[in-house]
Amino acid sequence: MASTATKSPPRATFTAAAWIFSVATCIKLLLIPAYRSTDFEVHRHWLALTSSLPIRQWYLDTSSIWTLDYPPLFAHFSYLLSLPASLFDPAITSLSSDGIHTPGTVLYLRLTAALSDISLFIATYRLLTTSRRSLFTLVLILWSPSLFIVDHVHFQYNGFLVGIFMLSLGFLEEGKDLAGGFVFAVLLCSKHLFLVAAPFYFVYLLRHYCKGGFFRGFGRLVIMGMAVGAVLAASFGPFLYYGQIKQVFSRLFPFGRGLCHAYWAPNIWVFYILLDKGLAFAFTKLGFNVETPAASFTGGLVGDSSPFSVLPQVTPIVTFILVLLSMSPCLIKVFKNPQPRHVVRWVAYTCTCGFMFGWHVHEKASLHFTVPLAAVAMNSLDDAKHFFLLSIVSCYSLFPLLYEPQEYPIRLLLLLTYAFLMWVGFSSHFAPAKKNGLVGWISGLYLVGIASVELYGQFFHPYLFENKLPFLPLILVSFICAIGMVYSWLWQLIYIMRHT
């Protein structure tokens, strides 16, 4: 789709956008002293690893348990970040197995996470100026409480990576398929978990970019292949030269980690696990001998285990097939009629499918579809209502990442403020929402359920059980959020089938 903006964007629009980005940056700076997860040391160690060792040793190094498990382009990004690190603290690039959390280290890494979000700002601003989206879209994306929690408290670089993702989608919306495919290849070589969107890209680019007769279509296919191949060669070529491709891929795809993360992502496997636990309990009460695996899902463990007592075991190939089957209705739509204006919605759905049925899904992967869906939230009242509920569910599902008491007011304030902003923004834009609200009685009861789970986990569970059943509040959070995620997945599927 060609750009609908033929003139440069008004200065006032850029000024407002820059103000929105600046406010988000100020919030990130205020969060510098907050809790940091082990991911902080992971990324700190990668700076040290890439700056201290030659490239041929990057994926062989075992000086720390935090071995490099991102694709090579992200490793090069870590190397670039390491170059000015010594100006803050030389210890940052110390190749040590011990965690380093000096004030200079914390300040530097926090600043890099905040400043790297410029990619998300650039990508989102381009979406605004090329498709005449509302400025409120920028607020929905840049002020996302999920991004604040995951990147600027827990610590990661998702904003930087999602920015590359959104830049690729923006190119596709503009009809610049070659640029979109090239940028997506860069993204895959930076974080391989975006591979779940690859089926969409393959079908869309094949049908939209490689159209127009055999010779023209084949020529474009070759051009696209060369562009993507160049990125792959630049990224993986050195490791192919050193004969380390198998080692690199063993780091990128460690299937031995098991079906679920230690804290269950709110997807379809929550219900499968709970059903298995319920059946095992019932059969045991009836006198049947049911073997309970040592590596229980409710133990908060990560490992290569066979945790199911009654139901069939789930393998990586099963999850792979389910992901492809679940996204197939969308892929068929894309194959039949590839339209640039539906790109963001389609790719968000494919990422949702990966989240719902994938292997060892992290709860943080919900960012891969909630951020793109923010770009279409202002399209209609139905989109606004769906995004309002989904963004609350997605953010609440991340609450257990910040488990220390001093961070509780932060996560609660971030979510409630964002919910208020959404309510005001959507109500101002959509007259029916201002009159009737954004939630019906079913959605309202569901949100009351989320509030009840939070109250139980924070106040009643410690009083009733003291130090017993510590994993129960996490199960309840995963369960209640999984209900909302299943609703979102079905809502997106129905919308795509009816309206695209």
Residue 194, H or E segment: none
- At 266-278, the pLDDT tens digits run 999 999 999 999 9
Specify the pLDDT at position 137: 96
Q: Which two tokens stand for residue 49?
A: 């690893």
Residue identified by tokens 């694709």 is: 71
Specify the pLDDT at position 338: 97
> Average pLDDT of each block of 10 consecutive residues along the chain (500 residues)?
46 87 97 94 96 96 92 98 94 84 94 97 94 92 97 97 98 97 98 97 97 90 97 97 95 84 88 92 85 56 62 93 98 97 98 96 95 97 97 96 91 97 94 83 96 94 83 93 98 96
Specify the pLDDT at position 304: 47
Specify the pLDDT at position 251: 93
List the one residue out of 378, 488, 487, 370 whose CA is nearest residue 427. Answer: 378
List the one residue out of 118, 137, 168 whose CA is nearest residue 374. Answer: 137
What letter represents residue 90's amino acid?
P
Specify the pLDDT at position 306: 52
Residue identified by tokens 């997945």 is: 489
Decide if 77 contacts 194 (C-beta within 8 A). no
Specify the pLDDT at position 482: 97
Specify the pLDDT at position 3: 42
What is the three-class DSSP state of 278?
helix
Q: Which two tokens stand for residue 413?
A: 């304030």
Specify the pLDDT at position 303: 47
Which residues have a Cβ under 8 Å from the Cβ of 37 and sit 6 or more positions away? 154, 155, 401
Specify the pLDDT at position 259: 87
